[in-house]
Amino acid sequence: MSQIHKRFTNDEVKELLERYSNKEIERKYIQEVFGIKRRRFFMLLKQFKENPQQFTIQYGRNTPPRISRDIEQNILKELSIEKEIIRNKEIPLKSYNYSYLRDRLRGTYHQKVSLPTIIDRAKKHGFYLKKPQKSIHDREVLTHYAGELIQHDTSYHLWAPAAQDKWYLITSLDDYSRFMLYAVLVKIETSWTHILALQSVILQYGLPYAYYVDSHRIFRFVQGRDSFWRKHHLLTDEATPQWKQVLEDCNVKVTYALSPQAKGKMERPYGWLQDHLIRTCVREDVTDIPPAQQILKQEVYRYNYHQVHSTTQEIPYLRFQRALKEKRSLFREFKVRPPFQSPKDIFCLRMNRVVDPYRKISLHNLQFKVHADPRKQVNLRIYPLDDDITEIRFWCEGKLIDIQKVKNKELNGVHF
C-alpha cells in the first residue's frame, strides 16, 4: 500500500485523529482506513496532540550529498587491493569484505562512509562477487561453565603474503564464552610452542576442566601413523606426547575430536581472524612475525571486547566475566604440587635417563655429572629460557638434585 501522505491530506488525517480523541471512532477502524500499524497510529496521534495547528503528514526528502573525490579514490584503491588478494591462489580469501573496508576507511583515512555506498561503488566498478550459498549455521554452546572446555588448535596459512612464508597460528578458546585466551603466530610448530600456550592460559586464568584438540601427533600418539617414532608393542595413547604429559601433571582432561567437522566451533573465530589479519598484513606490507603479531593482538582485542558472537549473541569478554562473577566457572587455581618447586618443572619438556657407573647421564652429545647413584633413573625437566639458553632441572626419587644451563644449539639433535 502506498504511503499515507500520498493518499490523504493533512485535514483528512487531522479529522479522523480528532474524532478518535473524542472517542467517536475506535482505533482499529482508523488504522484500517489509513492502512497503518498500531505503532504508526500512535506516533501520528502523539504529533497531532502536541501541536494540532502545525500537524502535517507531508515531509521533504533531501538528496544526500555526493561523497568527495578523495573518498571515492580511497574506496576504489582499497577495492583494488581486495581484488589482488582474492586473485592470489596462495591466500585463503575468496570474497570481498566491505565491512572491513568501511572500518579501514574510518581508522586509516578518517573518512566515514556507509556500507551501502561502498557496495554501490564495488558493483559499478566490477569489484563484486556473488556470495556463495551458505550452509545453515546450527552450532550451539554445549558447555555450561567457563573453563569447562578449552578449544585448542592450529591454522597454517600465508598470513602475510609479502613474507612469502606460511606461519602457524596457535589459539585457545573458551567454549562457553567464545573468549579467545591465546593467539600467537610462530614459524615452526613444535611441542614446545603448544606447551607455552598451556603455560600462558593456565598461569593467567587457572586450570580448566578439559582441553579439546584434534589428533595431531603433538597432542596424541596414534598407532601406525606414528610408527617411525614408537616401539612396536605400544598401542594408541600408550606413548604420551610431551604436551599431554603437562596436562596430566595438572590433572586436566584431554578430549579428542574425531574429525575436522567436530572442530567446527573454531572455524568462525579462525575465519574472522584470518580475514582481518591477512587483509591488514597485505596493506601494511608485513614481512615478519613481530609486526604481524601486533596486528593479530589488535584483532583479537576487537574480537574479544567488541564483536557480538553470532552463536552466543554476546560479546565474549562480557559473557566470560559474567560467568566468573556468577561462579559459573570450572577454572581452578594453579599451584605447583610437591615435590616440584617451580612452574618450570611443570611446563617443560621431559626425558628420562639412567645414571652410568661414572655418575653421568648422556643427552645427545652432551654428558652431565649428577649427584645420584649409578643405575638410578633421573628425570630431566627441560625449560628453554629464550632462543639461546635452556635450563635443565634434574630430578631423582622426588628430589631436585641439580640445575644446569646449556646452549640451545647443543640440543639441536634432541627429538621430543
Does residue 55 fall inside a structural domain? no
Does residue 243 fall inside a structural domain? yes
Residue 1 has pLDDT above 50, yes or no: no
Give the pLDDT of residue 270. 65
Closest CA to 281 of 300, 301, 295: 295
Confidence of residue 334 (pLDDT cuts 50, 70, 90): very high
The beta-strand segments (E) located in 39-190 are 150-157, 167-174, 180-186
Q: Find the mean pLDDT for residues 384-399.
A: 94
Q: Looking at the structure, do residues 43 and 176 belong to the same domain, yes or no?
A: no
Q: How far apart are CA 147 and CA 143, in angstroms?
A: 9
Q: Find the mean pLDDT for residues 151-171.
A: 92
Q: Looking at the structure, do residues 317 and 347 belong to the same domain, yes or no?
A: no
Residue 209 has pLDDT above 90, yes or no: yes
Does residue 381 fall inside a structural domain? yes
Q: Looking at the structure, do residues 319 and 214 belong to the same domain, yes or no?
A: yes
Could you tell me how far CA 32 lies from the centroid of its own chain? 51
Three cell numbers at 232? 612396536
Q: Find the mean pLDDT for residues 248-255.
A: 94
Confidence of residue 217 (pLDDT cuts 50, 70, 90): confident
Give the pLDDT of residue 138. 45
Three cell numbers at 210? 578439559
Does residue 398 fall inside a structural domain? yes
Give the pLDDT of residue 229. 44
Give the pLDDT of residue 135. 52
Q: DSSP H helical segments within 155-288, as ranges?
A: 191-205, 242-249, 267-283
Q: Looking at the structure, do residues 266 and 362 belong to the same domain, yes or no?
A: no
Does residue 21 fall inside a structural domain? yes
Is the backbone peptide bond immediately before 339 cis, with ω within 30 degrees of 0?
A: yes
Residue 4 has pLDDT above 90, yes or no: no
Task: For residue range 18-30, list pLDDT tens digits in order.
Answer: 889 898 888 888 8
Residue 167 has pLDDT above 90, yes or no: yes
> How long is the chain?
416
Percentage with pLDDT > 70 across the chain: 87
Residue 6 has pLDDT above 90, yes or no: no
Give the pLDDT of residue 220. 84
Q: Looking at the structure, do residues 75 and 173 belong to the same domain, yes or no?
A: no
250 or 235: whose pLDDT is higher? 250
- pTM of the predicted model as reported, rounded to 2 decimal places: 0.75
Q: Looking at the structure, do residues 358 and 280 belong to the same domain, yes or no?
A: no
From 59-63, 137-141, 263-267, 295-299, the region with the lowest mean pLDDT = 137-141
Task: For residue range 88-110, list pLDDT tens digits in order.
Answer: 888 888 889 999 999 999 989 99
Report, in this order, helix, strand and coil percent for the chain, each rounded to 5: 40, 20, 45
Q: Looking at the structure, do residues 193 and 258 belong to the same domain, yes or no?
A: yes
Mean predicted lDDT score pLDDT of the chain: 86
Q: How far apart are CA 318 and CA 305, in angstroms?
A: 8
Does residue 145 fall inside a structural domain? no
Phi, psi at 32, each rounded to 5°: -70, -35
Q: Looking at the structure, do residues 172 and 304 belong to the same domain, yes or no?
A: yes
> Which range marks the domain in which residue 379 is found?
343-411
Residue 173 belongs to a domain with what CATH number?
A: 3.30.420.10
Give the pLDDT of residue 66. 77
Task: For residue range 296-308, list pLDDT tens digits in order.
Answer: 999 999 999 998 8
Rg (CA), the chain: 31
Confidence of residue 112 (pLDDT cuts 50, 70, 90): very high
Percentage with pLDDT > 90 across the chain: 56
Q: How far apart are CA 296 and CA 27, in angstroms?
A: 57
Confidence of residue 133 (pLDDT cuts 50, 70, 90): low
Span between the terminal Cα atoms of the chain, in Å: 73
Domain count, the chain: 4
Does residue 82 fall inside a structural domain? yes
Q: Looking at the structure, do residues 347 and 308 belong to the same domain, yes or no?
A: no
Closest CA to 342 of 219, 218, 199: 199
Q: Looking at the structure, do residues 268 and 365 belong to the same domain, yes or no?
A: no
Give the pLDDT of residue 333. 95
Residue 140 has pLDDT above 60, yes or no: no
Does residue 62 fall inside a structural domain? no
Give the pLDDT of residue 274. 81
Phi, psi at 243, each rounded to 5°: -60, -45
Identify the DSSP state of 335. Answer: -
Q: Looking at the structure, do residues 312 and 370 belong to the same domain, yes or no?
A: no
Q: Looking at the structure, do residues 215 and 247 belong to the same domain, yes or no?
A: yes
